[in-house]
Amino acid sequence: MVIRTVDLRSDTVTLPTKAMRAAMASAEVDDDVLGFDPTATLLEAEMAKITGKEAALFVPSGTMANLISVLVHCNVRGSEVILGDNCHIHIYENGGIATIGGVHPRPVRNNEDGTMDIGLIEAAIRDPGGEIVYPTTRLICLENTHANSGGKCLSVEYTDRVGELAKKHGLKLHIDGARIFNAATALRVPVDRLVRAADTVSVCLSKGLGAPVGSVIVGSASFIAKARILRKTLGGGMRQIGILCAAGLIALQENAGKLKHDHKNAKALAEGINQIKGLKVDVTSVETNFIYFDIEEGSNMTALKLSKKLEEYGILIMFENSSRSSSKITCLFVCFQIPPTHETVILLGCLSGFDLLHTIRSRRGTCSTQYHA
Amino acid sequence: MDESILMFFSSEACNLFFLCFLRRHKQNLRGRHKARKAKIEFPPSQVAWLLDSLLFSSSSPSILHSFIHRLPPPPYIKNLTAAYQTVKTEESAGEARIRGLSIIKPVKMVIRTVDLRSDTVTLPTKTMRAAMAGAEVDDDVLGFDPTASCLEAEMAKITGKEAALFVPSGTMGNLISVLVHCDVRGSEAILGDKCHIHLYENGGIATIGGVHPRPVKNNEDGTMDIGLVEAAIRDPQGEQFYPTTRLICLENTHANSGGKCLSVEYTDRVGELAKKYGLKLHIDGARIFNAETALGVPVGRLVRAADSASVCLSKGLGAPVGSVIVGSARFIAKARVLRKTLGGGMRQIGILCAAGLIALQENVGKLEQDHRKAKALAEGIAQIKGLKIDVASVETNIMYFDIEEGSNMTALKLRKKLEEHGILIMFENSSRVRLVMHHQISEGDVQYTISCLKNAMAGLPEENGI
């Protein structure tokens, strides 16, 4: 029996709130393929406004948002796209840009902070003089925040520099902004300033913002018009989507402001974990809502064992690898659905078999905590 | 009834008007519990129109949103907006949207909307909305959404297949099915030259999936001659030049033939042919439940010969979103991965699946009435001078009628005229019109449509539809 579930696997596990469910139940809807769903239109207008782009398009997932963006920018056969070797598009999207879209990826090394060296990017741009043997570079992709580096933010300055480089060579710039609101919160820069240099951005509603489904692509009106068709082609042309978009609107209104609490919680959890003997985390590298921690060599614990033990207590985590005794574990904070941090830290301390370092403080009330019997 | 048309030349003016309305409204409601006593200074027609046009324009989303979700409207406002529905032109909404401008398009007010463009326009019912609001959900990518699992188990059971997979659309249902059956490069799929996959899915099986289509002539009843299908199967001996045939696709009901049903016998024969040559058989069963209803044969029997089928929930069954692919467990496992690849891996989909479950429970039984209403509409159209329709060919909920030569009418003109009366239709070409029946068209709507068509063809002066 489990008293409660603390799901730290990902921020995609966020469940819809009461306000969202109410909004979904009463949403004004229409056929978004034959015409335009009014609630979807509202959401798309809102997203365009927030990001400072001309238009927007609701899509079922972040994967489809990136896939559509890359394929529309690279709609001529023989295209190549420069992206980080540790970015989501390259690692976790089934290689779709190639297998589905016929676009050639050109991965460039991601630094630990999620950036790629500007010099290396420039060197990766294909010389049109070599077109007899080269594909044609058309696009550069950035990811902000960069998940695999631990949710690191790309600064405005860096983004602008990459944008200038793209312009200089006649390329487009796409930002995989699945967690762009986390970046905006951590950097204290408005989203539209953060993505100004980009031609297009994909933004997830179903992660930290907490909507049940969906992402939004933003860009120019002509881009979005093409994206709409490709969305239909890929099978993302859904009908009465106002239901999902209503939840998305609530997410934007209510939960974008809560992200700073997630970041505070993440920092607190990281500091707590760091004090546990046998676990190691670089607290300064926790910028947003991601934590990676390692199990030190020499301890008997492996990530697999730890995750099983934690599961008995109702805490769910994801691990990167467990074959070595030093293993990386991810903890992701879920917007407003995680209880006060010290309880999780206490449990981690117990289970890793080392001294308890935190005392239990009285709990404050939490909202929407999921209890599972 | 007079037409009240207000034009706003800027969103700011509109916002101002709306804020004034809101402020007055709030004052009137404060301390008063009986909505009837609240005074609204704007005539109801303008109130309803304003609400409606704001809902359908892209202006002032935050104000509108706060109106919808924070301030409970008094009962009579709700009734007004329910009773008065506006006709939206696709062009005006689309224009405003693409330009991202906040322009209110003036719309005339009509009493009712009869949307015969497709059965995809069905809106979620009250029970669906309730089910969606209370659905048990979880991350369907990291694990399994419980409501989605329910729906998928139910669909597998109904269709007699091992497993099922919820997908965002029928297009994705077909795309995934074709691509999984033809996952080796150099594959070819045999399908009807007038089938949906070939005509209305952006050629995705080729442009996205690299699968070569081999169209075979569709007969008027939606079938393809078995002999022609067999002749189209590539001889493996010619592999030096030929792609490899791996799949045959059928469509039941066949939309472009007018919603015609493929019989069990025909489907079984195609299935035997496929087996004989080691091919797979996929049925685009977007409207398979309509076929079941018209033929009196359960879906499970109808698709027995097929390796996979895609079934739409968002058409006549009335769910807001989604289709379901059914097939073997191995097939569905591959389909799940491809669904993710295409971007169809959505998270808490239980919300949509809950509506799908209601659709299966409540609306399959209503399809018979849809067929009857379609028949009644067809018979009414047959009596109108200048229009021609083959009533006997109306088997399910789709009908085509032609505008006879010699009349002054074109399909475009007819559509515009009907639109003024709140009736929405789609036309194939300048003389051929398609109508699709669904459960949200009443018998009164059918009669209304017939009389409006009659008036349109007789060239009578326009009425306001009261």
- What tens digit of pLDDT does each residue of B195-234 get? 999 999 999 999 999 999 999 999 999 999 999 999 999 9
Q: Chain B 33-62, CB below 8 Å of chain A: which residues?
A: 55-56, 58, 61-62
Q: Do B348 and A16 touch (CB under 8 A)?
A: yes
Residue indicated by tokens 């199967």: B233
Nearest Cα of chain A lies from the Cα of B272 at a distance, in angstroms, of 30
Amino acid at A332: L
pLDDT in tens, B98-116: 444 333 444 445 567 999 9
pLDDT tens for each residue of chain A, 373 residues long: 445 688 888 999 999 999 999 999 999 999 999 989 999 999 999 999 999 999 999 999 999 999 999 999 999 999 999 999 999 999 999 999 999 999 999 999 999 999 999 999 999 999 999 999 999 999 999 999 999 999 999 999 999 999 999 999 999 999 999 999 999 999 999 999 999 999 999 999 999 999 999 999 999 999 999 999 999 999 999 999 999 999 999 999 999 999 999 999 999 999 999 898 888 889 999 999 998 888 888 778 888 888 888 889 888 888 876 544 345 666 655 444 554 455 566 666 665 543 322 322 223 222 222 322 2
Helix (H) or strand (E) segment spanning residue A165: helix A156-168
For residue B431, CA distances in Å to B223, B232, B422 come to 25, 33, 21
Q: Chain B 168-227, CB below 8 Å of chain A: which residues?
A: 168-169, 171-173, 175-176, 201-204, 207-209
Q: Do A30 and B121 touch (CB under 8 A)?
A: yes
Q: How far apart are CA B145 and CA A15, in angstroms?
A: 11
Ordered domains of chain B (ranges, CATH): 3-99 (no CATH), 114-121+366-458 (3.90.1150.10), 126-363 (3.40.640.10)
Contacts of A9 in chain B (CB under 8 A): 142
Exposed e or buried b per residue across A264-284, where buried means at least 16 C-beta atoms within 10 angstroms of its C-beta:
ebbbbbbebbbebebbebebe
Residue B425 · residue B435 · CB < 8 Å: yes
Count of A–B CB contacts within 8 Å?
212
Q: Chain B 79-138, CB below 8 Å of chain A: which residues?
A: 88, 90, 93-94, 97-100, 117-118, 120-121, 123-124, 129-130, 132-134, 137-138
Residue B83 pLDDT level (bands cut at 50, 70, 90): very low
The Cβ of residue B154 has, within 10 Å, a number of other Cβ atoms equal to: 17
| ipTM value | 0.82
- Identify the residue with better confidence: B310 or B41: B310
Residue B29 is predicted with a pLDDT of 43
What average pLDDT does range B7-16 have in this prediction? 48
Residue A124 is predicted with a pLDDT of 97
Q: Do B343 and A64 touch (CB under 8 A)?
A: yes
Sheet holding B387-388, edge to edge: B387-388, B398-403, B432-436, B426-429
pLDDT in tens, B358-367: 999 999 999 9
| Radius of gyration of chain B measured on its C-alpha atoms | 25
